[in-house]
Amino acid sequence: MLSEEVLKAVFPLLDGVDLAVCMVVCKQWRHMAQDDYFWKCVCAKRWPSICKRPNSHTVTYYRIYRTFYKRQRPQTLLPPRLSFDDLEFFIDIWNEDELVFSEVVPGPVLQTGIKFLPTGICNTLKFHLESPEYKMTLPVDPRFNIPWGDTVSISVLVERKDSNKVACIINKSLFDYIDRSASRALAFEYLNFSPNYPFISGIRAWISLLFLEDGDDGIIDVFGIEMDFRNTASSKDE
């Protein structure tokens, strides 16, 4: 009798795993641990509001715990389903209505980036391009010039070579933000995801023109293009 009183005092203090272990010790412990009061104590620690339900419910707290408790197991991330080797990017840039850049860029080229920076770039841009944050950059060859004040727009499509499926990343977005201190003109587009993911929003794809200023002539000399998904991805795998 004394041992039962001790168990009745100890069982409410246990978590669900330990209480379940007690059920396999012996018949006496199993019989006592099946008392739904003890399982109500366990559920009250994990889900306090569940104990506010009307007493007319027939589902036991032991059943509730077994239904909703899952032991957390470490999960390994699956490898990326896409590789840069599977992608081709179609980049078109207009100055007013004149097409000034149009290239099909293989994914590995965009991934490789700009190996040799031109002389004369500002320190802020140099620091940005040499920082460890993941970027996708492309040298512009031959370079093109744009007068200050002109309307410049860009479109970017991407194709999966293994399936021939094409998606739009940027659709005639304007470079309407120019950071002269960093020698970058920026445009962006909000990404449209599948209707199967209605809660994903506000993720932008960014495109930057990297340029040098050509003296006092009001001309920017574009030597590179940068693309990133800074709202959601900061590494190659992402």
On whether the CB atoms of residues 175 and 189 are closer than 8 A, the answer is no
What is the rounded average pLDDT of the residues 181-209?
80
Q: Let me know whether 41 and 97 are in one domain.
A: no
224 pLDDT higher than 90? yes
On whether the CB atoms of residues 137 and 225 are closer than 8 A, the answer is yes
pLDDT for the residue numbered 137 = 92
DSSP H stretches of helix in the chain: 2-10, 16-22, 27-33, 36-46, 61-68, 107-112, 123-130
Q: Residue 153: inside a domain, yes or no?
A: yes
Q: Let me know whether 15 and 112 are in one domain.
A: no
Q: Let me know whether 161 and 221 are in one domain.
A: yes
Q: Let me know whether 62 and 91 are in one domain.
A: no
Q: Let me know whether 92 and 204 are in one domain.
A: yes
154 pLDDT higher than 80? yes
pLDDT for the residue numbered 197 = 63
Q: Residue 182: inside a domain, yes or no?
A: yes
What's the whole-model pTM score?
0.62
56 pLDDT higher than 60? no
What is the rounded average pLDDT of the residues 39-64?
76
Q: Let me know whether 96 and 167 are in one domain.
A: yes
What is the rounded average pLDDT of the residues 73-84?
66
Q: Residue 238: inside a domain, yes or no?
A: no
State how far the Cα of 64 lies from the Cα of 40, in Å rounded to an integer: 9
- The residues facing 145 across adjacent strands are 221
pLDDT for the residue numbered 105 = 92
State how far the Cα of 148 lies from the Cα of 141, in Å rounded to an integer: 21
Q: Cα 164 to chain center, whole Å?
A: 24
What range defines the domain where residue 35 resides?
4-69
Q: Residue 233: inside a domain, yes or no?
A: no
Quote the number of domains for the chain.
Answer: 2
Phi, psi dihedral angles at 31 (to 5 degrees): -60, -40
Q: Let me know whether 26 and 111 are in one domain.
A: no
Q: What is the pLDDT of residues 19-51, one digit of tens each?
A: 888 888 888 888 888 888 888 888 888 777 777
Q: Let me know whether 62 and 114 are in one domain.
A: no
